[in-house]
């Protein structure tokens, strides 16, 4: 019996009691209002609920009396071994071994789908993250947003949402011109512009541009910057895409800022008109403004200056509206630590567009991350590159470690720890647990143990009860992590599960000793072993981390 089934049984019992006590009076509640949790002390049972205290007043009963009535109702439910009342009305439920053990078979049968749920079903979500400027390589900050954003996307999809991972390419405006001028200077042996881009990667790009188009410097002088910037931009963007793919991060949409400026009227022109129709655009001092203060922004925002030039806010507005036009009701932005000012600005923009800023948009700010002993990029000169980090630490260790902490917490990683093959390295600890489940399965086959027999009532050792209890929590962990956009909850869960598995491994044998014969308990334990491996594998996949079969 899983927690959802227990919650349903509790709700049925509550409805029956309510009808007896107050005939004709609706309970005015649903199964979703029933909370079922793991007791902190496992000696108190498998599950605990405060339903009696929560509904006592509504039903017109003393909490402890209601708890006793619920206990009496639950006593006849299949799979429940005992029900105890504690304190002012807490209810502790203990499952019988067979009911608890059945979960092992359920997990194995479900395979990669176990943990998937429908808590986000019906939600169409645009998830924008990374969005590094195409004027240089991705750096350590982008690395964190890549790991977190992709893991959030995986969690949302596992919970039933329709998710589009989107990369916004800032490929319009003065920065692209400066980028092209910097590459051109490197190609012609001139010093970089004062406000240009520097680093060995600029020199390397210059050589690649020439390799792509040996005649590019033969054109008119006044068009060289544009020609060079276009080729260099394309090469740099391809490098960014390759870096992300090697990091197991793939985007569904690469959206070019240039598309917002193209055409007449452009999407930006249309955005101003649409916001004006909503009543939040006004003209003042020869400029066009959006009244974002109506939605909590600290000041109204200029969307078009007096000289007719649009501001960056205009592109933000057009881009936000375009996401909605493409069918995404909910928009999530994962931005860097220096983008706090965008939170109110974007939420105000959502309100001005006629959306609900409390439900239709989320802005998550990721904090800075540092790596002890990391060296600045030799190519870029002033940053730590994603590619260098991946080559140094490894994709799995890097992704797991970045997903292991909340986005809003500053983070410092120890590469030497992350490269250790010891239990104090969290990613090794979890991956080793998975590899051990695979090894146990191999040894079981060699010993003649198979999954042909399954007697769940035999899974009655205390370490088996604890392990099954943790396995049962996985779908709820996934659903909650998706809801609050916090992949670290999956990582911490996996570490707890790995610890419980190691303790079970030390106490319960899957293969018989010596000349002992194979008994039903061995095959049944193989089910539990394989179920644990499946959940570890599923959880690691949600974090974009591999599940090695040998270590």
pLDDT tens, 406-444?
Answer: 998 888 899 889 989 999 999 999 999 999 999 999 999
User: Residue 457's pLDDT band (boundaries 50, 70, 90)?
Assistant: very high
Does residue 285 sit in the same domain as residue 357? yes
Return the pLDDT at 119. Answer: 96
Instruction: Work out how many domains the chain is built from and give that number.
Output: 3
In this model, does residue 26 exceed pLDDT 90? no
Does residue 479 sit in the same domain as residue 464? yes
Give CA–CA dist 3/9, Å, rounded: 10
Give the residue from 369, 389, 411 where a domain finishes. Answer: 369
In this model, does residue 43 exceed pLDDT 80? no
Does residue 307 sit in the same domain as residue 283? yes
For 364-383, what is the mean pLDDT?
79
Q: How does the average pLDDT of the chain come out, rounded? A: 94
Does residue 515 sit in the same domain as residue 469? yes
Q: Per residue in 488-525, pLDDT tens?
A: 999 999 999 999 999 999 999 999 998 899 999 999 99
Does residue 113 sit in the same domain as residue 157? no
Higher pLDDT, 481 or 514: 481
Give CA–CA dist 47/38, Å, rounded: 5
Does residue 436 sit in the same domain as residue 538? yes
Does residue 263 sit in the same domain as residue 279? yes
Among 17-26, 48-57, 234-243, 298-307, name the one with the lowest average pLDDT: 17-26
Higher pLDDT, 380 or 218: 218
For 117-143, what is the mean pLDDT?
95
Does residue 23 sit in the same domain as residue 107? no
DSSP 257: T
Q: Per residue in 56-87, pLDDT tens?
A: 999 999 999 999 999 999 988 988 999 999 99
Tell me the two tokens of residue 301. 């925002």
- Pairing of β 287-290 and β 330-335: unpaired
Give CA–CA dist 154/145, Å, rounded: 14
Give CA–CA dist 466/501, Å, rounded: 9
Give the residue from 354, 369, 384 where a domain finishes. Answer: 369
| Strands, sheet with 287-290, edge to edge from the N-terminal-most edge strand | 281-284, 287-290, 301-304
The three-class DSSP label of residue 259 is helix
CATH number for the domain that contains residue 73: 3.30.1360.70
Furthest C-alpha separation in the chain:
93
Return the pLDDT at 77. Answer: 92
Does residue 54 sit in the same domain as residue 106? no
Q: Per residue in 224-256, pLDDT tens?
A: 999 999 999 999 999 999 999 999 999 999 999
For 249-272, what is the mean pLDDT?
97
Does residue 268 sit in the same domain as residue 159? yes
Q: Per residue in 377-411, pLDDT tens?
A: 667 677 889 999 999 999 999 999 999 999 988 88
Return the pLDDT at 376. Answer: 65
The CA dihedral of 34, 40, 42, 46, to the nearest 10 degrees, is 10
Look at residue 41 and tell me if it is in a domain: yes
CATH number for the domain that contains residue 443: 1.10.730.10
Look at residue 465 and tell me if it is in a domain: yes
Q: Per residue in 134-160, pLDDT tens?
A: 999 999 989 999 999 999 999 999 999
Does residue 104 sit in the same domain as residue 85? no
User: Residue 38's pLDDT band (boundaries 50, 70, 90)?
Assistant: confident
Return the pLDDT at 378. Answer: 65
Q: How many CB atoms lie within 10 A of CB 462?
A: 13
In this model, does residue 1 exceed pLDDT 80? no
Higher pLDDT, 297 or 244: 244
Phi/psi class of residue 24: alpha, beta or left (left: φ > 0; alpha: ψ in -120 to 50)?
Answer: left
The three-class DSSP label of residue 336 is coil
Domain of 37, in residue numbers: 3-94
In this model, does residue 201 exceed pLDDT 70? yes
Return the pLDDT at 27. Answer: 86
CATH number for the domain that contains residue 265: 3.40.50.620
Does residue 164 sit in the same domain as residue 294? yes
Does residue 477 contact residue 494 with C-beta atoms inside 8 Å?
A: no
User: Residue 25's pLDDT band (boundaries 50, 70, 90)?
Assistant: confident
Helix axes 140-158, 395-403, angle to 10 degrees: 70
């Amino acid at each position: 019996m899983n927690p959802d089934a227990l919650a349903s049984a509790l709700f049925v019992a509550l409805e029956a009691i309510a009808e007896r006590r107050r005939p004709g009076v609706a309970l005015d509640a649903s199964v979703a209002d029933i909370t079922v949790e793991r007791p902190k002390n496992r000696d108190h049972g498998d599950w605990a609920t405060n339903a009696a205290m929560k509904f006592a007043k509504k039903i017109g009963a003393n909490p402890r009396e209601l708890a006793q009535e619920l206990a009496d109702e639950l006593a006849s439910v299949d799979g429940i071994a005992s029900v105890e009342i504690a304190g002012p009305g807490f209810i502790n439920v203990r499952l019988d071994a067979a009911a608890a053990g059945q979960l092992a078979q359920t997990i194995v049968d479900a395979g990669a789908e176990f943990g998937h749920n429908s808590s986000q079903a019906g939600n169409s979500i645009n998830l924008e993250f990374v969005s590094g400027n195409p004027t240089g390589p991705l750096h350590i900050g982008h690395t964190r947003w890549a790991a977190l954003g992709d893991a959030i996307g995986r969690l949302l999809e596992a919970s039933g949402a329709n998710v589009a991972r989107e990369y916004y390419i800032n490929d319009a405006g003065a920065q692209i011109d400066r980028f092209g001028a910097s590459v051109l200077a490197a190609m012609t042996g001139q010093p970089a512009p004062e406000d240009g881009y520097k680093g060995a990667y600029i020199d390397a790009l210059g050589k690649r541009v020439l390799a792509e188009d040996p005649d590019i410097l033969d054109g008119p002088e006044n068009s060289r910057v544009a020609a060079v910037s276009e080729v260099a931009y394309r090469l740099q963007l391809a490098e960014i895409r390759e870096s992300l793919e090697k990091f197991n991060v793939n985007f569904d949409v690469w959206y070019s800022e240039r598309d917002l400026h193209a055409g007449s009227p452009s999407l930006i022109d249309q955005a101003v008109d649409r916001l004006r129709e909503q009543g939040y655009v006004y003209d003042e001092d020869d400029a066009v403004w959006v009244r974002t203060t109506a939605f909590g922004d600290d000041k109204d925002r200029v969307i078009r200056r007096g000289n007719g030039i649009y501001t960056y806010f205009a592109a933000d507005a057009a881009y936000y509206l375009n996401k909605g036009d493409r069918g995404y009701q909910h928009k999530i932005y994962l931005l860097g630590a220096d983008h706090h000012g965008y939170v109110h600005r974007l939420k105000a923009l959502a309100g001005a567009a006629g959306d609900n800023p409390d439900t239709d948009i989320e802005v998550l700010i990721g904090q800075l991350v540092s790596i002890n002993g990391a060296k600045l990029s030799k190519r870029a000169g002033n940053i730590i590159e994603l590619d260098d980090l991946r080559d140094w630490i490894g994709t799995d260790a890097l992704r797991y470690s970045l997903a292991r902490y909340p986005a809003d917490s500053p983070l410092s990683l120890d590469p030497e720890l992350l490269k250790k093959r010891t239990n104090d390295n969290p990613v090794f600890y979890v991956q080793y647990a998975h590899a051990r489940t695979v090894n146990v399965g191999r040894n079981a086959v060699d010993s003649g143990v198979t999954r042909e027999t399954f007697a769940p009532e035999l899974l009655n050792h205390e370490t088996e009860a604890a392990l099954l209890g943790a396995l049962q929590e996985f779908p709820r962990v996934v659903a909650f992590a998706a809801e609050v956009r916090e992949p670290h909850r999956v990582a911490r869960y996996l570490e707890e599960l790995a610890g419980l598995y190691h303790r079970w491994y030390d106490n319960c044998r899957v293969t018989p000793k010596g000349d002992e014969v194979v008994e039903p308990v061995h095959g049944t334990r193989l089910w539990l072993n394989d179920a644990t491996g499946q959940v570890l594998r599923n959880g690691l996949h949600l974090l974009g981390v591999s599940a090695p079969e040998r270590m």
